[in-house]
């Protein structure tokens, strides 16, 4: 119990500023990130399968949430989170959790590295204190705005950001158990508070100077000093305004959130299980994440998923039960209630520095470079495609194209495993007395749509003097409808040319498929035998 409480407090200290930074990066007030961490920390622990995963807002979501906020506002974001929760529950109920894990590694690294680049790019504005009135548009638009705005650099903001970044890096090297974020942000917050009081002309941006809230009769700057409040996700919209047209626009975004949330959660579970020896049920974990994302919007929270970095810290701090996740959530709740005024003094440049560290840690630089160095070129193409599309367009397109490209390459590799080979009947050592008008073909590998045309061409080009063709299919592992249609065409062609087609070595499963597809093995020109010897013996009797 003691270890779980201490690890929960440690993770809470890290999650407190990070949740605010991620909310700000998404384009919403910082308190929404805190609300997310509280609800997700408790709900995912209760309903999920993992004992030690820590859930909350994550950096991976930032890239796909920004356009939702820009187009639909906070209300649209909350509704997307709600829809994604429903989708996650269905994925879990249908036991599709294992399918999510089949996304190729180059795709995962590609979009993860791309997300890291985008997050890091978006932090440049606050890190350097640049003055940009409308920081919106595509990635290239924002690059242009940044590159043309460096003459507005605020050296005070930049100094604070750089100081925070250096402290984060150097403190980690000390291997201290005190979180680097606590040391770096506390130090820079005190300095900024001092400078803003005694040198007001510097006017260094903080959460308090950047964000304003109004909740009922309570109004102020920074983070509202009130605990969680229940509210409807659709905000000021009437329930009648939530029509099919709106849901149709939000649904693709919700699917993207659900898929990414599932990926992050299951990847986190794999990592945590590897470190602890636990075994997480992927489908139950997805259902737990789905329930969490349904509950979170009713308290103003943004989409949540299991956070890998916070989970690793939780494990290394000695956690072994769900209590640590709940403690971390309660710590953040207490912090909002009692020290929100002090949290509001956090410098924006410091939070940008924190996110730059997050972006670097999730960039998978070593894995990215290693894939380029040692992986087959097709995997490199998939990696670079996902990376570029994530950065220049969006993650939804990147994942869809990446999975599609990886699938095509997988099919190509599978086709390469397939072979159909004419056995040289004149040099057989096992059956040296086979007549020349009998051709034997060995078929190896799966017969599916990618290989069907190859088989069709080969068999239709058999020697005109050949009367009997034997297909040795002992090593055929599967057959699909395209291949069966191709075989039907061959059978019809052979019938017209008075040739016989004989199968041998069909496994029971494939034989059932062919029988169900109306392959009539009792006809004169189509036979099936258990092994090649029986097929050859029969062929000799009918010449």
Which CATH number covers residue 510?
Answer: 3.30.750.24
- What is residue 495's predicted lDDT score, i.e. its pLDDT? 79
- For residue 180, tell me if it sits in a domain: yes
Q: Based on the domain organization, do 214 and 132 belong to the same domain?
A: yes
Question: Given phi > 0 = left and psi -120 to 50 = alpha, else beta, which region is 364?
Answer: left
- For residue 127, tell me if it sits in a domain: yes
- For residue 470, tell me if it sits in a domain: yes
Q: Based on the domain organization, do 97 and 227 belong to the same domain?
A: yes
Tokens encoding 180: 């680097």
- What is residue 104's predicted lDDT score, i.e. its pLDDT? 80
Q: Which residue has the tokens 């308290």?
A: 299
Q: Based on the domain organization, do 508 and 443 belong to the same domain?
A: yes
445: DSSP letter: S
Q: Are 115 and 391 in contact (CB under 8 A)?
A: no
* Average pLDDT over every residue of 252-266: 89
Tokens encoding 481: 């409808």
Q: Based on the domain organization, do 487 and 360 belong to the same domain?
A: no
The reported pTM is: 0.80
- For residue 409, tell me if it sits in a domain: no
308-316 helix and 244-276 helix, angle to the nearest 10 degrees? 30
Q: Is pLDDT of 289 > 90? A: yes
| CB neighbour burial string for 282-316, b if at least 16 within 10 angstroms, e if fewer | bbebbbbbbbbbbbbbbbbbbbbbbbbbbbbbbbe
- What is residue 413's predicted lDDT score, i.e. its pLDDT? 73
Q: Is pLDDT of 123 > 80? A: yes
Percent of the chain with pLDDT over 90: 36
Q: Which domain holds residue 173?
A: 2-374
Beta bridge partners of 478: none
Q: Based on the domain organization, do 52 and 172 belong to the same domain?
A: yes
pLDDT band at 448 (very low <50, low <70, confident <90, very high): confident
* Domain stops at, among 347, 374, 401: 374
Q: Based on the domain organization, do 99 and 185 belong to the same domain?
A: yes
Q: Based on the domain organization, do 117 and 174 belong to the same domain?
A: yes
Q: Are 28 and 77 in contact (CB under 8 A)?
A: yes
pLDDT band at 510 (very low <50, low <70, confident <90, very high): confident
| CB neighbour burial string for 453-466, b if at least 16 within 10 angstroms, e if fewer | eebbeebeebeeeb
Q: Is pLDDT of 489 > 70? A: yes
- What is residue 264's predicted lDDT score, i.e. its pLDDT? 87
* Domain stops at, among 374, 402, 430: 374
- Locate all alpha helices (DSSP H) within 363-507, ordered by sequence: 365-374, 377-392, 395-417, 449-460, 481-496
- For residue 211, tell me if it sits in a domain: yes
Q: Are 111 and 386 in contact (CB under 8 A)?
A: yes
Q: Based on the domain organization, do 366 and 240 belong to the same domain?
A: yes
Q: Based on the domain organization, do 442 and 319 belong to the same domain?
A: no
How many separate domains does the chain show?
A: 2
| CB neighbour burial string for 139-172, b if at least 16 within 10 angstroms, e if fewer | beebeebbeebeeeebebbebbbebbbebbeebe
* Average pLDDT over every residue of 252-271: 88
How far is Cα 156 from Cα 205, in angstroms, rounded to an integer?
Answer: 10
């Amino acid at each position: 119990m003691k270890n779980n409480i201490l690890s929960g407090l440690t993770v809470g200290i890290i999650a407190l500023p990070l949740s605010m930074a991620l909310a700000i990066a998404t384009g919403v007030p910082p308190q929404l990130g805190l609300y997310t961490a509280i609800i997700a920390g408790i709900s995912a622990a209760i309903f999920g399968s993992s004992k030690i995963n820590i859930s909350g807002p994550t950096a991976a979501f930032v890239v796909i949430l920004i356009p939702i906020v820009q187009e639909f506002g906070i209300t649209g974001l909350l509704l997307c989170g709600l829809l994604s929760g429903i989708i996650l529950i269905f994925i879990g109920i249908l036991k599709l959790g294992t399918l999510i894990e089949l996304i190729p590694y180059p795709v995962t690294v590609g979009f993860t590295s791309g997300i890291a680049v985008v997050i890091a790019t978006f932090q440049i504005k606050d890190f350097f204190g640049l003055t940009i009135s409308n920081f919106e548009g595509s990635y290239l638009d924002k690059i242009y705005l940044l590159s043309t705005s460096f003459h507005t650099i605020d050296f005070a903001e930049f100094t604070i950001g750089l100081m925070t970044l250096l402290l984060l890096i150097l403190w980690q090297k000390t291997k201290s158990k005190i979180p680097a974020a606590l040391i770096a942000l506390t130090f820079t917050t005190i300095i900024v508070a001092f400078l803003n009081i005694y040198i007001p002309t510097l006017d260094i941006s903080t959460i308090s100077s950047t964000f304003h809230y109004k909740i009922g009769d309570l109004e102020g700057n920074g983070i509202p000093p009130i605990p969680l409040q229940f509210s409807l996700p659709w905000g000021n919209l009437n329930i009648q305004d939530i029509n099919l047209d709106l849901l149709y626009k939000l649904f693709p975004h919700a699917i993207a959130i659900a898929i990414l949330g599932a990926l992050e959660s299951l990847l986190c579970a794999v990592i945590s299980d590897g470190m602890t020896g636990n075994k997480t049920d992927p489908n139950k974990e997805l259902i737990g994440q789905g329930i969490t994302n349904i509950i979170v919007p009713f308290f103003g929270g943004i989409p949540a998923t299991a956070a890998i970095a916070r989970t690793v810290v939780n494990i290394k701090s000695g956690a072994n039960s769900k209590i640590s996740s709940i403690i971390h959530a309660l710590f953040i709740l207490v912090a909002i209630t009692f020290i929100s005024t002090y949290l509001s003094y956090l410098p924006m440049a410091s939070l940008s520095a924190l996110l730059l560290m997050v972006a670097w840690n999730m960039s998978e630089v070593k894995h990215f470079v290693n894939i380029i160095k040692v992986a087959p070129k097709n995997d490199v193409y998939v990696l670079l495609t996902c990376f570029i599309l994530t950065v220049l367009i969006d993650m939804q397109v990147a994942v869809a194209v990446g999975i599609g490209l990886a699938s095509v390459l997988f099919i190509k590799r599978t086709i390469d495993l397939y072979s159909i080979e004419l056995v040289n009947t004149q040099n057989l050592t096992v059956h040296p007395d086979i007549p020349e008008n009998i051709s034997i073909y060995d078929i190896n590998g799966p017969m599916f749509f990618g290989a069907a045309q190859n088989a069709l061409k080969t068999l239709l080009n058999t020697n005109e003097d050949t009367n009997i063709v034997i297909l040795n299919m002992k090593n055929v592992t599967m057959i699909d409808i395209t291949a069966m249609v191709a075989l039907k065409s061959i059978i019809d062609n052979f019938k017209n040319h008075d040739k016989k087609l004989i199968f041998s070595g069909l496994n029971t499963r494939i034989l059932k498929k062919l029988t169900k597809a109306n392959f009539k093995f009792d006809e004169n020109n189509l036979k099936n035998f258990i092994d090649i010897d029986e097929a050859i013996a029969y062929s000799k009797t009918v010449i």
